[in-house]
A and B are shown apart, each in its own frame.
Chain A
Amino acid sequence: MGLLSKKDAKLITDPLADNNPITIQVLGICSALAVTAELKPSIVMAISVMFVLAMGSTVISLIRNIIPSKIRIIVQLVIAAALVIIVDQILKAFAYELSKQLSVFVGLIITNCIIMGRFEAFALANGPWKSFLDGIGNSAGYGIILIIVGFFRELLGSGSLLGYKVLGDAIEKTGVYAYGYENNGFMLLAPMALITIGIIIWVQRSRNTSLIEHN
């Protein structure tokens, strides 16, 4: 990486696996679970969070020396809310169906713990370029989990990906359905999102045993 120094590159790559915001830091679970019944809203949500987190971290870090520490939470919330309004209006203008599907969860990006957590833990103490990279890295780590969960839930739940019927037609019995395969409608319901993330955590921690919690 010629563009980034080693330290900067680490800011991006760390949250992708060993310091993942969802599976390790336990931040931003709410939206990760609610929007992942299909792949498309998961991708849109990941991009929206990336925009808000990267821009927000940069702005917070630029004004970090003039925010009085007593009201910093309100300042952070207002900046996050302003960015989320931009995202919401863009979605309403260019992807109305999708914004109906995401409903209140676009608004809930404001109180997504990732946003506040990274503002508080990183952007308030570091320069704008580093905060920007940290924002990109963490939201990418968040997005990866979202896309994995969305991929499996849509594939197993409705037999399609991004709306394309990759497994054949369930009613006309083509593709794998000809051999008696059935969609598992249960994957589309809310509880399976939790169990899918539980399994992702299981896989990740069995591969990297240093992450196991001792209690």
Chain B
Amino acid sequence: MEHIELFFKSIFIDNMIFATFLGMCSYLAVSKKVATAVGLGAAVIFVLAITVPLNWLLDVYLLKDGALTWLGPEYAQYDLSFLSFIMFIATIATMVQLVEIVVEKFAPALYNSLGIFLPLIAVNCAILGGSLFMQSREIQTLGLAFNYGVSSGIGWFLAILAIAAIREKIRYSNVPGPLRGLGITFIITGLMAIGFMSFGGMLTGGDEEEATEKTAVIEQIEIKNDAIEIAKNETEITE
């Protein structure tokens, strides 16, 4: 159950592009044609599926507070979490290079379709962001980490596919000159993000919290209004 919940949550609610804006640079640069967008999207899913579980292992067995306990009790008080940026990015860069070599050797057809995108991906915010969110959201098991990597990759893929399709069509529309190209892409992405916000109510967990917060604010305002009225009454009485 929690696998299914995480899966849909990372695709729709916490979508990498529309909720957290990760990987916007390549999203904007490579979305002019659907075919190239599909290539890059597939490569992102692939690399996220490998690096997130790998970085999860690193985080749990090396970086977390007390993660080194398996070496022996005298290592229990070490907290290496400040090294996580450099460890994560090193893992990502080496994995991307390794994947590139392996894919080139064993699956030349796949290499030709992913080809030029693989080296680009090492510097894609979505990949590092996936690992950092995995760390900050405290994902519990290796299976969930793998699920998180794949599903947030799919969310990214969906987003770039959608914007590429729209950009292919928009070429035939009469967009005002200064907005043409980059400007209109930003605004369309904003509108799509508003659309994706409507998925927010899909899973119940988060909704209840928001509801209580809102009622709390309303209660505060009501209490304040009451206080103001009482004060008014008092002034009237004294007059």
Contact = CB atoms under 8 A, between A and B. Distances in A.
B128 A108 contact: yes
B226 to A, nearest CB: 13
B164 interface: no
Given A108-B132, A212-B178, A82 B125 contact: no
A51 B129 CA distance: 21
A85 B84 CA distance: 9
Range of interface residues on B (Cβ < 8 Å): 35 or more
Given A29-B25, A30-B22, A111 B186 contact: no
A194 B180 contact: no
Contacts of A112: 125
A40 interface: no
Interface-central residue, A78, A103, A110, A194, by most chain B CB under 10 Å? A194
A77 B82 contact: no
Interface stretch (B34-42, B86-94, B138-146): B86-94
Contacts of A205: 177-179, 183
Range of interface residues on A (Cβ < 8 Å): 35 or more
Contacts of A121: none
A171 B224 CA distance: 8
B196 to A, nearest CB: 9
Interface in A49-66: none
A175 interface: no
B123 A77 contact: yes
Contacts of B44: none
A31 B125 CA distance: 9
Given A85-B82, A191-B194, A30 B125 contact: yes
B186 A198 contact: yes
A81 B85 contact: yes
Contact of A111 (B97, B124, B177): B124
A110 B186 contact: no
A193 B19 CA distance: 11
B181 A116 contact: no
Nearest to B179: A202
Nearest to B24: A29
B179 A88 contact: no
Contacts of A111: 89, 123-125, 127-129
Contact of B183 (A30, A190, A201, A209): A201
B132 to A, nearest CB: 4
Interface of A: 23, 26-31, 33-34, 73-74, 77-78, 80-82, 84-85, 88-89, 103-104, 107-108, 110-113, 116, 171-172, 189-195, 197-198, 201-206, 209, 212-215
10 contacts: A29-B21, A30-B22, A30-B23, A78-B90, A103-B136, A111-B127, A171-B221, A190-B193, A203-B178, A209-B178
Question: 4 smallest A-B Cβ distances: which pairs?
Answer: A213-B181, A194-B190, A205-B178, A198-B186
